[in-house]
Amino acid sequence: MQPSTYLKLPFSFELARLQADLKALENSAWISHFNTRAYENDWSCLPLRSVDGRMDHIIPVNEGKFEDTVLLESTPYFREVIDFFQCEKTSVRLMSLQAGGIIKEHRDDGTSLEDGITRLHIPITTTPDVLFRIEGENVHFSAGDTWYLNASCLHGVTNPGPRARVHLMLDCVSNDWLEQAFMKAGWIARPAPKYGDKAIHDGNVADVIAQLRATGQITAQQMAIRLEAIRSGQQV
């Protein structure tokens, strides 16, 4: 069975209340996505949780402390939805793809349950013809429902409809609560890397072993022995 590249979780929210909170923010200062080469037409963001609670910060990965922005003060249902998920959140954003917009296929490394950051989408405004393309498969994320996207997979979005598609997007720190919810929804985990590090594979493991042995260090020798045992199919 193939690992899950996306998953519909058993959590749905009141669409009318989501849309009411979105309407309360319609005159806010939306920020065009920083990767301008990755899309056509307007793809913009509104931060609900960001580094230091800044309104001008939409980068989801940063060394700083993530805090709620002032926008959550006027959107109580957004806060209720965010608090529903029993895990730490880093970046939380509203993501708007304008009518006719295209997000080109790309990968966001490190954004999967297995990698430690679980990216969840809750569509607020959408139409059935708004489609994600995930590793070659077309998928529609239905409004008011909770969808997981393994964003380290190749994915893109098209919005041929007449209005903007807006998602509430949460980056959650993976934990036991999330993993249990995923298991109940039928999630299939990605296999662990053969050598314990996804940067090491059959194509380069011989070179890695040689480099470790060349150091002369005891811990490096032990690691080289372990990698050699895995390569040869021995139990370690």
Domain ranges of the chain: 6-184, 192-236
pTM of the predicted structure, to 2 decimals: 0.82
Dihedral sign, Cα of residue 36, residue 62, residue 126, residue 175: positive
In sequence order, what are the residues at sequence separation of 6 or more whose Cβ sits closer than 8 angstroms to the Cβ of residue 80? none
Segment 179-189 mean pLDDT: 93
Tell the CATH topology of 6-184. Answer: Jelly Rolls (2.60.120)
Q: Is residue 12 over pLDDT 90?
A: yes
Q: Which amino acid type is present at position 142?
A: S
Segment 118-126 mean pLDDT: 97
Q: Is residue 60 over pLDDT 80?
A: no
pLDDT band at 236 (very low <50, low <70, confident <90, very high): very low
Segment 122-151 mean pLDDT: 97
167 with 120: CB under 8 angstroms?
A: no
User: What is the SS3 assignment for 78?
Assistant: helix
